[in-house]
Structure 1
């Protein structure tokens, strides 16, 4: 394989399982993760496991590294992106996978954003836009985004975009809707520019996965009973992290999701599926695009210059 792949949230759950599969295929991997709490696999342990898998598969020369990325800090996303750009390497695959549940208490980050909103959506937007010049230099050029079937039932509520009081709906589901809408809009804009038209970006629902994403964030015990009940339900009906990880790998490697077949799609596990109607609503997508641009100062940062602002 030999391609360069960045996977956010790759030390546990579907991200780790996807990384292991990529390692077996001979990819060069950057595991983009925070320094996690003790209950999670440490990124260096994940790196060693992936290296062992790669070596056993005959790919001992593969590069597999942990680069720190804290999705709840804009400065960390910026630093990570710059570190990659400084390598001068083309990026073949970006897997926007990191995420957290919204069952614990609401909290705002140091950047002023509701943390589920920032971790699950805003930081992925920023990371993707920052890395676009590097992705554009690859002939392969794929971006996968871990979205969810929950995007079908989420409300579109830009008046409470940052989780303000009065929001109706679950922040996890809402941000999965925003993510799917945004990637459709981005794909349309990429096609308008020769430098970017070969890049494909798609969303994937990896399944209802029984993974550490459903654990309570450290110190958040307000909704412990709700979390406990949800964890039990997931353990009974959820698929394994390995199954979920394979869905990401399939989207990143399957020829039917190549540039020849276009992007801006929603993949339900391994099959293309219909998207929520809002994803096809150009006006709603434009309103979301502009809201993101304003809240994150994307125009001021020059990140929309080649995408029609």
Structure 2
């Protein structure tokens, strides 16, 4: 049976936090969940973008359960400050969707000096997940969905040079960050199960979805070759609303299980189904090493101590 927006069960009473909710997959995900009755926190890089998205959603959706949060994932200290606001305002969090991302920019660094794609796509989402874990754990049956990409299948984790200091290649760094997303989701699932926490961790990827990532990449790199390639490939791309279906399935379908990954039926477009995880992500030793290294890089910038404590408790 085809899974679509209509397959989403009622989300009444659920509180959801979506990063990168101002456009593309994040916006479409937020809209679908709002239409099903959820309270949605829009996580966006600036308040201006967040308020603009909030107003558009209010105009298009018959629901007012929308909150906004300014969260700059390129600065771990600002991530920490933003999440403190959620902890004060909300008593529980049913669903976290780690959706925001950057794709193939020229070599750029986060506020803490990390390669931007690794910082935004992986480190900040790991940090915010662990910081919010005590809030998520208050709601039985809660879920964390981490959004990856088909680039995971081409990714390789360079544990000796995660920041690309020995020679930056923007697409290799992007693929590494998307593989890291899946590795994090799997490792989190394992640790949640070991701690007997009733939280599911899943991953999803949109296939070839038409979002602002493509135009932003072309603009930042000034690549006419890339612009032509996207133009030629355009008929293969599906809408961002279709691309959002895998993460919506992972977030809401009662049969979706921790550790699973969902993607388009043909892995680049189509309705969602359970899909193959990149073989490199199945290496448990590498996942453990990546986790430990990531914790060290997050350091004291984000207070993840309570989340780590929850996961270290074997029950």
Name the TM tier (shorter chain): 0.7 to 0.9
Are 2:34 and 2:65, in contact at CA under 8 Å, matched by a contact in 1?
A: no
Structure 1 equivalent of residue 58 of structure 2: 51
Q: CA deviation at 1:163?
A: 2.0
**Matched ranges for 1:84-233 at <5 A:** 84-102=86-104, 104-166=105-167, 170-194=172-196, 197-216=197-216, 220-221=220-221, 223-233=222-232
Structure 1 equivalent of residue 4 of structure 2: none
Tell me the SS of whatever aligns to 2:220: coil
Q: CA deviation at 1:116?
A: 1.2
Structure 2 equivalent of residue 249 of structure 1: 248
Are 1:208 and 1:234, in contact at CA under 8 Å, matched by a contact in 2?
A: no
Structure 2 equivalent of residue 68 of structure 1: 70
**Matched ranges for 1:32-51 at <5 A:** 32-35=43-46, 42-51=49-58
Q: Gaps (5+ residues) in structure 1?
A: none
Are 2:83 and 2:128, in contact at CA under 8 Å, matched by a contact in 1?
A: yes
Give distance in 1, aligned partners of 2:233 and 2:31.
23
Matched, 1:16 2:11: no
Are 2:218 and 2:224, in contact at CA under 8 Å, matched by a contact in 1?
A: no
**Matched ranges for 1:248-267 at <5 A:** 248-257=247-256, 262-267=257-262
Structure 2 equivalent of residue 297 of structure 1: 299
**Equivalent residues, number:** 292
Q: CA RMSD, aligned part only?
A: 2.3
Give distance in 1, aligned partners of 2:219 and 2:273.
38
Provide closer, same or farther for how the CA distance between residues 233 and 307 of structure 1 changes in structure 2, counting only shifts above 3 A. farther
Q: Gaps (5+ residues) in structure 2?
A: 1-11, 265-271
The runs of at least 4 aligned residues of structure 1 exceeding 6 Å deviation read none
Match of residue 29, structure 1, among 17, 37, 40 = 40
Deviations 1:67-107 (A, max 9, x none): 111111112211111110112421011010001111x3111
Structure 2 equivalent of residue 308 of structure 1: 312
Give distance in 1, aligned partners of 2:59 and 2:139.
27
Matched, 1:7 2:18: yes
Give distance in 2, aligned partners of 1:207 and 1:300.
34
Are 1:23 and 1:51, in contact at CA under 8 Å, matched by a contact in 2?
A: no
Are 1:208 and 1:239, in contact at CA under 8 Å, matched by a contact in 2?
A: yes
Are 1:204 and 1:266, in contact at CA under 8 Å, matched by a contact in 2?
A: yes
Give distance in 1, aligned partners of 2:223 and 2:281.
34
Give distance in 1, aligned partners of 2:243 and 2:150.
13
Give distance in 1, aligned partners of 2:150 and 2:218.
27
